Structure 1
Amino acid sequence: MTQQKIKFDFTENTIKVDEKFYKKAQNYGTEEYRVLTKICAEHPTASVMTVRREGNYNRVTIKVMEDFLTKYDADALDELHKLCNETKMTVSKTGRPYKKNNMGTIRKWFMSNYSDAYKADMKVKEAKAERDKAVADAINAAKKAEKADTPAQNQ
């Protein structure tokens, strides 16, 4: 798990660390602290740089997937529901219980089939939200300016 959160860039002489890992590494005595100090000791001239993981779609819920598929590919909605219904506890060869199709598996299916369209849809929604905020800010500014121009009335 730790190996995925740390990368050493030899060309830039930097230790690239996941943001969450770095936050944990700031606490003395944690496993992350020990790993990072060991790497820093091995490469004393290297600098530490935090990086944000790209492509993390933990906020993609079943509801979000259903809404997206209803809008763009209603035929795939049945496949999504089938995957969700197959989510059940099974037993591995070692005797440990695990979920056959957990949320990660369902997200992986969704993103492997619809990642480009989903990203484009999210950009459109973000642009719309920014536009709506700008309009609301302009309206509020106009209301404040109107209030400032009106003389106070004595009651």
Structure 2
Amino acid sequence: MNEGIGRCLNTLLLFFPTTKKSQQEYCNAVFPWFIKSFKNTDWFLRLLCFTGIKASFERIDHSLIENESFLNFVNEVGISQKDGKNSSFRKRTLETFGILIEFNERHATEKLKILLLKWLIFLENEKDERINTTKLYLLNKLKK
């Protein structure tokens, strides 16, 4: 059952619309449901979903980051990673943060920057050196 839900969510993200109006409508329809489903998935499913998210961020129109449904979803992703005991999941989350930070550099928005800083602070006591190195790199990019 969970694997089917994961594939469905992943597919929804992979076929993210390309026009600004369609993206706004898509977010308002899909992300509230996605957040609700996200809370009930296991770590493997969340990793599957990040693959779709990563692919989608590269096609997002910059005005989308002002969409409340999208920001709520982004916040939920950050909150879910703070409790993660799975190093692979935290690493994948950081990759997603990296994409968002690059996105934010091109289309600066304070709301997104604050969310990203908050998430990176969650990883303050990280023991995995690779994750710490990535975290420091991303923090430095956000300071600019």
Please give the range of the TM-score, normalised by the shorter of the 2 chains. Answer: under 0.3
Structure (1/2) with the larger helix percentage: 2
**Structure of larger gyration radius:** 1
TM-score, normalised relative to structure 1 = 0.22
Higher relative contact order (CA 8 A, sep 6+): 2
TM-score, normalised relative to structure 2 = 0.24
Structure (1/2) with the larger strand percentage: 1
